[in-house]
Each structure stands twice: as C-alpha cells, then as structure tokens.
C-alpha cells in the first residue's frame, strides 16, 4: 500500500488571506479556490478564506461554485469559465455571480433570468492582452450594449468588469502596463455607456503583492493564499505568508547495499560505496513526478536526500549513506517544515509550484479542517 499524506493547515490559509487583505487595504479580496483550492480542498479552504476576511470566493467551474454554495457558503461567489452551455439557472437561483465574456454566454445568462431564475450579477470579462478568456477589446462595445439593454430590462445587473494579466509575475514587464491601460480604456467605455461598474478587478497574486497601483476595486489572489507567492519578497519574509500544504510519507524499509549496486528501474543510480538505502512508499501514482528521479530531494530526520534513481508507480528510493540513524517507519518529508518547499519541487522538475500542489493535493484525501 502506498502512503502519502497531505496535510493542510487551514489556519495558515485564513491567516494568509488576512495578510493579503492588509496588503491591499483599498480593495476587496476575492480568494481564488478553483481546482479544489489548488489541491488544498475546496470547502475547508473556502471556509478558511472567509475566516480570513475574503469578500468573494472565485472559481473557474460552475460546479465548484455550486459545491461551495450547497456546502454552506453564504457569501459572494464568482465563477468564470464556461461557454453558452453554462448552467445559468443553477447559478442564478443560488445567487452566484457570473462572468460574461461573449454575447453567447451573456444570452444564456439573460435567458435564465428571463425564465425567472433570478437577476444575474454579471462581471464583464475583457481580454486586455492575455489572449485567453474574455471579449476582445474591439468587441467590448457591442457586448456592453447588449448587457446594458438586459440591465434596462432588470434581467441582469452589471456589477463588475474584469481581466487577467499575462506577465504579472514579472512586475516590470511592459505588457502589465499595456494591459492596465487597456483595462482603463474598457472601464471608460462602460462609463461612456452610462454603466456604473462597481467592481473592477484585474490583479492575481503577483499583482496583489507587487502592483498596488493596479488593485482597482478588488484583487483576486490564488496561489498566495496558500502561502506560495509567485514573486520573491524583497525583504525575504515570504510577504508574511505561510505555506499551507505539507506532504509526507514513510520509510517502508531501510537496508544495506554494497557499493556498485544499481537502484530502481534501469539502474540509473548506482551506489558509490557500501550504503543504506531507504524505500519510500509513494510514487507517481501519488503525485510524485517521475521526472523527480535524481533531481528532487526529500528530508528524513531533518537531513535532505536526493531521490536515488527512478521514481516508480508507488515507491522510490533514497541513498541514506553508509551510516544512518534512519529506521523503517520514519517520516519522510516531501514538502513541509524541515524539508523541501513546493517551489523546490517545481525547480527540480521544471514547472511551477501551482502544478506541484495541484498534483499532490488533487490525488489525496485532505486532513479534516
Ligand atoms: C487562477 C486565477 C487567479 C489567481 O491567480 P494566482 O496567480 O494563483 O494568484 C485570478 N484570476 C483568474 C481569472 C484566474 O484564473
């Protein structure tokens, strides 16, 4: 049986939200809890974010928004990723804010409202340069005109306008200012049409932490609420944020091997001398990247060891050295205090820590709140 334990410190999430709120004092805060809260667990993370003072919870999928509401969340929730098949009736009847970045989606929302499911609170999504979601700048006027007409019929309320940055993790990148300029132009277009957009929002975690001039009415941090800021704190204090996820396993076996002995499939690692190896009960089926073999490290009793040889489906091996205190049953820290960070894993396997926590968290039951 494989053994990988994912522990989430929900008080850390609550504390991080409070810290981010204090860093964006003039704006509301939407805590982004999409993708099962980046692997941390949707409902308990949502509750923690509310404890920390989140004004909104934000999710990509309508099903996640519905799960939050049906799970007892009574605050404002926004969901943004869908086409015209959006289950608008289910969202409106639950008082969930919706995003519209195309005429087709707007129409679906208006139809549900006309059918009596509730007045939609709509955030217009504009593509200011990411080249992903949202109406292109050139078509914004016609989308706003249609939204305005629906608002005049009391079918929707245009509560927000939003966009998303492409290069926020490089705060000085010229596209950040270019997108901000487009966003301001989009807001001006709405104003010219006589629309009162109460919530303009643009900034993700990186923007929240580095560009206070672009906080507008609300910030939308995701990764930072889990304690993993995507930019370095110039003061070296992680912006006061605390990593919420720890990942651990155990040593299933410790044994001696002679020097020159191949380890794991393909013998990519060969013991340089007589040594002790430790068998860890976790593998790629648990989210340990196969590419981590030979590059990522884990900690046993406070000492770091690189993964020796290939990661297997539910196990991998460590070279614990000729003399070791480690024993069968010892805890192995993959991520957490005294061991590597999610960022360390990301650097080892050439990805971002977002993918690391989604992967580890997504495959395992989380600890209770
Ligand atoms: C994921 C996401 C965020 C949060 O991004 P982070 O980099 O995790 O802070 C904010 N807004 C939108 C639209 C997103 O998709």
Ligand 1 atom with the shortest distance to the CA of 205: 9
Q: Where along the chain do the CATH 2.40.37.10 domains lie?
A: 245-368
Between the CA of 81 and the centroid of ligand 1 the distance, in Å, is 12
Spell out the per-residue pLDDT of the chain, length 369, in tens: 458 999 999 999 999 999 999 999 999 999 999 999 999 999 999 999 999 999 999 999 999 999 999 999 999 999 999 999 999 999 999 999 999 999 999 999 999 999 999 999 999 999 999 999 999 999 999 999 999 999 999 999 999 999 999 999 998 999 999 999 999 999 999 999 999 999 999 999 999 999 999 999 999 999 999 999 999 999 999 999 999 999 999 999 999 999 999 999 999 999 999 999 999 999 999 999 999 999 999 999 999 999 999 999 999 999 999 999 999 999 999 999 999 999 999 999 999 999 999 999 887 665 555
The one catalytic residue among 5, 28, 34, 366: 34
DSSP structure string for 264-328: SGGG-EE-SSSEEEEEES--GGGT--GGGTTT-EEEETTEEEEEES---SS-EEEEEESS----T
- 32 CA to middle of ligand 1, Å? 6
- The C-alpha atoms of residue 183 and residue 197 are separated, in whole angstroms, by 12
Q: Name every protein residue with a CB atom under 6 angstroms from any ligand 1 atom.
A: 32, 34, 164, 204-205, 220-224, 230
Question: In a mutational test of the pocket of ligand 1, which residue from 220, 228, 346 has the highest number of ligand atoms less than 8 Å from its CB?
Answer: 220
Q: How far apart are CA 155 and CA 167, in angstroms?
A: 36
CA 77 to CA 67: how far, in whole Å?
A: 11
Kindly give the distance from the C-alpha atom of residue 299 to the centroid of ligand 1, in angstroms, as a whole number.
31
- Expressed in angstroms and rounded, the spacing between residue 120 Cα and the centre of ligand 1 is 23
Q: Is 28 a catalytic residue?
A: no
Q: Annotated catalytic, 34?
A: yes
Answer CATH for 10-235 from 3.20.20.10, 2.60.450.10, 3.40.50.12160, 3.65.10.10: 3.20.20.10
* SS3 annotation, 110-152: HHHHHHHHCCEEEEEEEECCCCCCCEEHHHHHHHHHHHHHHHH
3-state secondary structure of 253: strand
pTM, two decimals, is 0.96
Q: Does domain 245-368 have CATH number 2.40.37.10?
A: yes
**CB of 222 within 8 A of CB of 32?**
yes
């Amino acid at each position: 049986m494989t053994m990988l334990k994912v522990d989430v410190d929900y008080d850390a999430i609550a504390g991080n939200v409070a810290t981010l709120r204090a860093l964006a004092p003039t704006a509301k805060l939407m805590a982004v809890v999409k993708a099962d809260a980046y692997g941390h667990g949707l409902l308990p993370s949502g509750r923690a974010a509310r404890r920390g003072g989140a004004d909104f919870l934000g999710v990509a999928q309508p099903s996640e928004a519905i799960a939050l509401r049906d799970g007892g969340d009574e605050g404002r929730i926004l969901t943004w990723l869908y086409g015209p098949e959006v289950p608008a009736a289910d969202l409106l009847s639950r008082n969930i804010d919706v995003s519209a970045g195309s005429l087709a989606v707007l129409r679906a929302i208006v139809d549900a409202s006309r059918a009596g499911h509730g007045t939609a609170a709509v955030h217009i999504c504009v593509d200011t340069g990411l080249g992903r979601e949202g109406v292109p700048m050139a078509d914004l006027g016609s989308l706003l005109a249609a939204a305005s007409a629906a608002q005049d019929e009391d079918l929707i309320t245009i509560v927000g306008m939003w966009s998303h940055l492409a290069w926020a993790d490089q705060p000085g990148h010229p596209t950040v200012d270019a997108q901000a300029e487009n966003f301001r132009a989009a807001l001006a277009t709405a104003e010219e049409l006589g629309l009162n957009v109460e919530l303009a929002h643009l900034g993700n975690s990186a923007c929240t932490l580095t560009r206070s001039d672009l906080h507008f009415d609300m910030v939308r941090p995701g990764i930072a609420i889990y304690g993993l800021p995507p930019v370095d704190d110039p003061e070296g204090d992680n912006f006061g944020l605390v990593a919420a996820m720890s990942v651990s396993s155990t040593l299933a076996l410790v044994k001696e091997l002679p020097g020159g002995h191949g380890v794991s499939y393909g013998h990519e690692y060969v013991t340089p001398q007589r040594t002790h190896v430790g068998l860890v009960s976790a593998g790629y089926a648990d989210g340990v990247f196969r590419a981590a073999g030979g590059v990522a490290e884990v900690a046993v009793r406070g000492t770091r060891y690189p993964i020796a040889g290939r990661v297997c489906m539910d196990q991998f091996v460590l070279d614990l050295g000729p003399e070791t205190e480690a024993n069968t049953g010892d805890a192995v820290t993959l991520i957490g205090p005294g061991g590597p960070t999610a960022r360390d894993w990301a650097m080892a396997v050439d990805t971002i820590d977002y993918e690391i926590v989604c992967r580890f968290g997504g495959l395992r039951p989380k600890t209770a709140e």
